[in-house]
Structure 1
């Protein structure tokens, strides 16, 4: 079996040698052919120096270094573009993901014909308030909006068929929802496996509290894209038509009231003195803006270039 192990990292120099040795031990004991792709997402320590030494010594080690920190999603995207294995494994570089899980994950892809298998850190060693409770909330919301019955969307340890990673675009901070991206791309056999979660051995976590806010915003984005990404006018046009309807009803009410007063010889009231005038004006303007947004969305969708959201400074063994 030909495997690609894709590992995004940021300032993990203490763990890289140990992680490499551990992965190699697992690969050799299972007689896998493999490549290990390290993506240095703008590290400021000596992570790239160590990756370069490994790449010089071992041709199966490949490295990508970004010019600066672009984010985990961009690092995964770069690794996916370069990966050549039939089965692709992703894992974090902090030694909290165990390489011992790789054979079973790969077997689920190769033998059970899963498109994607996501790890589930059923027993976690993270802070209960800092990560466990927010993660449970994220996963609950992701299950509700996506329809995927996974317990841990954000687990870094996952296995993919090669065709999956070549047909999804991971951008922004969407790495949390790669299973949803795969489902939206048409890959339906998505499974889950309980995996070992280990305590962090070196350094500190690179994720702050802002990732939880970003995670919810990303979830809303991915829900919108899955529903209306290919037809934005269906969303904006619907709400635009609704606003126009309210505006026309309000304008009709104002006109009818004016005619009623004229017919009954009552003194006329300035249109601008009627609050319904402002309701009609506001809703018609909003309706127009929503229609314009829909048209712009359709135009962007049809003309957008496929621009990468990262810049590579250096590669090794590619």
Structure 2
């Protein structure tokens, strides 16, 4: 992917230093000067009415924040004037803004991944671009993450300003189900306002529509005790229409099944398919053995019995599941050996003039 306009200098501490080279403390000081403390990642899609007020609110909210920060705005192939309105803020005084324009609409997960890949801060905050998340919560969340020594702090929309039937009830059911299956019990998985340590979230690759399950993915990298939540402000949508509806409930269920599989068997898929294969193979062996005894010992005719067909079908299923597990193991080893390609394409990265 194209690199951001300004890259952080990362000194190689493994090399031996000489008397003429800068000291490690000087190199660290230079690194701290060039890299922001916090990166705000905001994916936007067709938010031309919201993007301007959003940037203004972020600038206002970050005034009390101590330390350098940057705003990474990811335009997910908007078909309106979202990108045009965002470009007006590129050279705004006191704002370190980067705009990552994707080539087409790849979805919120891919847009979030593009922003995380571009972010240079030690900490990364993510929030929605529809003005429903309040940027004023970010400084307090950063302080809480550091004080509680967490790697991920998730926002909890305790007083959610959404419809009861279409949003609140399905969300409540989904949060309960996700917490029970993944073991990471949070009140609000769907809140986009989150604070991460960059070193942790950059170990997680987001695919498909898995942004809803980020805490579960992070729990695969760090203990769940280092994941917390904090009540945050939630506003009703002021402009445009929601990109989600009740239909996404079915996608959440499918994604949840995928999360459950990957959390338990990502590195050993052969165990999952192999266990099913051995189970069906054992049932097949019992059935065929019983039919063999009836044929040989008792002389019964078994050619037209449905049990014989079931036994052979289970035998074939056993072979298919075991071979599928072997293929899955080969694919998993290839995945861990090679770097996966990004799931988005960047058209351009815009930043303040040097």
> TM-score, normalized by length of structure 1?
0.94
CA root-mean-square deviation: 1.5
Tell me how far apart the structure 2 counterparts of residues 210 and 75 of structure 1 sit (CA, whole Å): 21
| Post-superposition offset of 1:208 | 2.5
Q: Select the residue among 64, 74, 88 that pairs with 1:29.
A: 64
DSSP 3-state at the match of 2:206: coil
Tell me which moved more, 252-261 or 128-137.
252-261
Of Structure 1 and Structure 2, the greater helix share is in 1
DSSP 3-state at the match of 1:38: strand
Tell me how far apart the structure 2 counterparts of residues 257 and 30 of structure 1 sit (CA, whole Å): 81
Query: Cα deviations across residues 14-44 of structure 1 (Å, max 9, x unaligned)?
Result: 1111111111112223343110001111111
Q: Name the counterpart of 2:342.
A: 308
Tell me, yes or no, if structure 1 residue 284 matches structure 2 residue 321: no
Q: Select the residue among 150, 161, 168 that pairs with 2:204.
A: 168
1:225-236 matches, within 5 Å, as 225-236=262-273
Contact 1:115 1:187 in 2 (8 A): no
| Post-superposition offset of 1:212 | 1.2
Tell me how far apart the structure 2 counterparts of residues 148 and 194 of structure 1 sit (CA, whole Å): 17
Distance 1:187 1:49, change over 3 A: farther
Q: Name the counterpart of 1:94.
A: 130
Tell me which moved more, 104-113 or 212-221.
104-113
1:1-318 matches, within 5 Å, as 2-57=37-92, 60-188=96-224, 189-262=226-299, 268-269=300-301, 271-304=302-335, 305=338, 306-317=340-351
Query: Cα deviations across residues 28-84 of structure 1 (Å, max 9, x unaligned)?
Result: 233431100011111111011122222244561001111111111101111111111
Contact 1:4 1:37 in 2 (8 A): yes
| Dislocated runs of 4+, deviation >3 Å | 56-59
Tell me which moved more, 116-125 or 305-314.
305-314
DSSP 3-state at the match of 2:43: strand
Tell me how far apart the structure 1 counterparts of residues 68 and 146 of structure 2 sit (CA, whole Å): 14
Contact 1:19 1:95 in 2 (8 A): yes
Tell me how far apart the structure 1 counterparts of residues 267 and 303 of structure 2 sit (CA, whole Å): 41
Contact 2:62 2:136 in 1 (8 A): no
DSSP 3-state at the match of 2:113: helix
Q: Which residues of structure 1 form unaligned runs of 5+?
A: 263-267
Contact 1:164 1:187 in 2 (8 A): no
Q: Which residues of structure 2 form unaligned runs of 5+?
A: 1-35
DSSP 3-state at the match of 2:105: coil
Query: Cα deviations across residues 207-236 of structure 1 (Å, max 9, x unaligned)?
Result: 122221111111111011101111111111
Tell me how far apart the structure 2 counterparts of residues 289 and 210 of structure 1 sit (CA, whole Å): 34
Count of residues paired in the alignment = 312
